[in-house]
Amino acid sequence: MTETSPQPTSIKKILPLILATAIFMQMLDSTILNTSLPSIAKDLHESPLNMQNAIISYVLTLAVFMPASGFLADRFGTKKIFIFSLVLFSLGSLFCSLSQNLTHLVISRVIQGVGGSLMTPVGKLALIKTFDKSELLKAMNFAIIPALIGPVLGPLVGGYMVDYFSWHWIFLINIPMGILGIILGLKFMPNYKSDDVDFDLKGFLIFAAASLLLSISLELFGDIQNITPVLLVFILGFLFLYYYYKHAKRGGNPIFPLNLFQVRTFRVGIVGNLATRLGISSVPLLLPLMIQIAYKQSAVTSGWIIAPMALTAIFGKSSVIKILDKYGYRQTLMVNTFIIGTLICLLAIPDIHTSLYWFVPIIAVLGFFNSIQFTSMNTISIADLRNFQTSSGNSLISVNQQLAIGFGIAFGLIVLKLFENTDLIQGEMHNAFRYTFLTIGILTILSGFVFRRLHISDGKNMKSKEE
């Protein structure tokens, strides 16, 4: 692996900002369309139901191309691929704003998706290679905040853009951010490459097929009436994962080596991400839905109710390093997951006559603990990876997070649909939401036990240096 000498202070200061910009653009774009689809559909003379293709095409492109991010960075260099991804993402955003019909929009979203699938994993890889383990927690902690803010601000920004300007602006706002990222990337992004790169094309195609099938099934799981074909696609996705496992076991140079899972902290981080995000990822979708459907409030009102989550996430980042240094990863992740699960359960307490403001303090506190959770899970996953494992390990973590968010959203919708069709809700849709929050909250609490597999000393090499 070609490594460079210790980085100048200016690069270490700017690199987390570059990654934060990339993460924010990708996360904002994953959710900003949600409140804007009816307006876009009207302008393009399409049914709002058909407009889901504009969201699905982006998500599926991320799932397919993310596994290749580590190889491309090793082969062509982190700087070249990162700049290329930002150019693609910005061009895709411009093409989206110029779309004259749904087909144009879907093609433009695919171009955006290719850029998005590369820029975050490659930016994160550069960060991992630039900072020592003792400095990485602080750097990653800064860069990860947009991952919490983006999904919360997306629907709110999208709603205001459509109401006060036009839907074209939800894409155009990416362009100045993209240009800023390109300028900073050209000046400050280090160009790490690998001397020995052998692309596992067969493994990539198998894993990409698995990611694609799982993503399709997760996008379609909300349609409970046609559950059988969706389940078949879901099972087929897991069969492809098993096929990939058999392929990687034969040796060679697989795109994701199985020896990654011999690293216990990586294994726990991957499983913990999947398990805890079942609850965490569904809240930003379910709460606005409940406010709009049960409480009959506007999309903008629901956006403002969950907005405090983004603000308190910023405060969370200032506390997480001290908490991890004092209590360690094992205790922090277990207790923090229990707290998050309990807070989700508390969302089930207010009845239909309770003021909406009851939710604000719960959501605000939830944002704080989510910030701690994401920083801790992301850093413990890479804590014990060797240099030759960082590219493939980082790519797999990115794919896993993308799928975990999809699992969480799909799971929340399935539970909601199941309660909607039972006698428990007594004709009150609000009760279906309450039981759903209770269910996913309890499951989130139980998911905290995944982190028992960590040792008390795990993550000691990530301890931040004293100021």
Q: What is the CA radius of gyration of the chain?
A: 21
- In this prediction, residue 344 carries a pLDDT of 95
- Contact in structure between 298 and 425 (CB atoms under 8 Å): no
Nearest Cα residue to 392 out of 267, 260, 262, 300: 260
Nearest Cα residue to 117 out of 422, 399, 414: 399
- Contact in structure between 116 and 26 (CB atoms under 8 Å): yes
Nearest Cα residue to 346 out of 364, 323, 371: 364
Nearest Cα residue to 308 out of 376, 357, 373: 357
- In this prediction, residue 49 carries a pLDDT of 60
DSSP 397-466: HHHHHHHHHHHHHHHHHHHHHHHHTSGGGTT-HHHHHHHHHHHHHHHHHHHGGGGGGS-TTTTGGGPPPP
- In this prediction, residue 466 carries a pLDDT of 36
Q: How far apart are the C-alpha atoms of 12 and 5, rounded to whole Å?
A: 13
Whether 7-196 and 256-460 share one fold: the answer is yes
DSSP code, position 262: G
What are the beta bridge partners of residue 2?
Answer: 193
Nearest Cα residue to 26 out of 108, 113, 98, 106: 113
Fold of 7-196: Growth Hormone; Chain: A; (1.20.1250)
Q: Mind listing the pLDDT tens digit of every residue in the chain (467 residues)?
A: 444 444 567 788 888 888 888 888 877 776 677 667 677 888 888 776 667 677 778 878 887 888 888 889 988 899 999 999 999 999 999 999 998 888 899 899 999 999 998 998 899 889 888 888 778 777 877 777 776 677 677 777 777 777 778 788 888 888 998 999 999 999 888 888 877 667 788 888 998 899 888 888 877 765 556 677 888 888 999 999 999 999 988 877 888 888 888 889 999 999 999 899 888 888 887 888 888 788 888 767 777 887 788 788 877 777 888 898 888 899 999 999 999 999 999 999 887 777 888 889 999 999 899 989 988 998 898 888 887 788 888 888 888 888 888 788 778 888 888 887 776 666 677 888 889 999 999 999 999 999 999 988 887 766 654 33
* Rounded (10°) CA dihedral 165, 166, 168, 170: 60
Length of the chain equals 467
Sign of CA dihedral 412, 285, 123, 63: positive
- In this prediction, residue 138 carries a pLDDT of 79
Domain boundary assignment for the chain: 7-196, 200-254, 256-460
Superfamily of domain 256-460: MFS general substrate transporter like domains (1.20.1250.20)
Distances (CA, A) of 305 to 149, 302, 440: 14, 5, 20
Distances (CA, A) of 434 to 291, 322, 349, 439, 441: 12, 35, 7, 9, 11
